[in-house]
Amino acid sequence: MAKILIVEDDTDLNAAYKLILERDNHTVKSAFNGQEALEVLKSFEPDLILLDLLMPIMGGLEFLQNYELHKKHPNVKVLIFTNMENSPEVSEAYKLGAHRAIIKSWTAPQNLTRVINDALAEKRGVTA
């Protein structure tokens, strides 16, 4: 299955997403802010990144700028997981190459796996 990086500062949610995705047989690594994510990415090239926006030390937008998604990692899908809807931050994330934005508090585990599988399928050129 796929390699996934979770970047989420809420430890409970981070652990929950890890459990859910591992049950689907994905290889999952966790980071708790943008800086940690950049560190993990030195030795881990994921297929997909689940990214929160508001995080301490380094937020999601700053992470995307540093990661240079467009330029250096065109094949990695980034799903924004946030509780801010219609915010300028979300538009900015799209500009920086994010694939989709999802409101966390609306999302049940089934939806999470569905959204992730859809994104991974699109990546492999399979029409959803």
Partner 1 sequence: MSDSSTKDRGQKPLIEGRVPAAELRARSEALFMSIGDGAIATDEFGKITRVNAAGLKILGFKEHELIGEWFPSKIVAVDEFDQPLNLIDRPITQTFLTGKSVSKRMYYRTKSGDVKPVFVTTAPIILKKRPIGAIEVFRDITVENEIDRMKSEFISLASHQLRTPLSAIKTYSHMLIEGFMGELEPAQKKALQTVVIATNRMNELISTLLNITRIESGSISVAPKPTNIQKVVEEIIKELAHTASAKSITLTLESTTNQLSLRTDALIVKEILTNLVSNAIKYTPEGGKVNIRLVGKGQRLTVSITDTGIGIPEHAQDQIFTKFFRAANVVRRETSGTGLGLYLVKGLADQIGAKVWFKSVENQGSTFYVSLPRDSFKAEHVVRPPDE
Distance between CA atoms of 85 and 103, rounded to whole angstroms?
Answer: 7
Nearer to partner 1 (CB atom), residue 71 or residue 106: 106
Q: Which stretch binds partner 1 (CB under 8 A): 40-48, 55-63, 97-105, 115-123?
A: 97-105
Distance between CA atoms of 123 and 93, rounded to whole angstroms?
Answer: 19
Token representation of residue 60: 């999601």
Site for partner 1 in 30-69 (CB under 8 A): 54
Q: Which stretch binds partner 1 (CB under 8 A): 28-36, 37-45, 65-73, 77-85?
A: 77-85
Quick note: the x/- pattern for partner 1 over 109-128, rule CB under 8 A, is xx------------------
If phi > 0 it is left, if psi is from -120 to 50 it is alpha, else beta; for residue 50 that is beta
- For the beta carbon of residue 68, count every other beta carbon within 10 angstroms: 11
Q: Which stretch binds partner 1 (CB under 8 A): 19-27, 60-68, 70-78, 120-128?
A: 19-27
- The torsion angles phi and psi of 115, rounded to 5 degrees, stand at -60, -40
List contacts with partner 1 (CB under 8 A).
10, 12-13, 16-17, 19-20, 23, 54, 82-87, 103-110
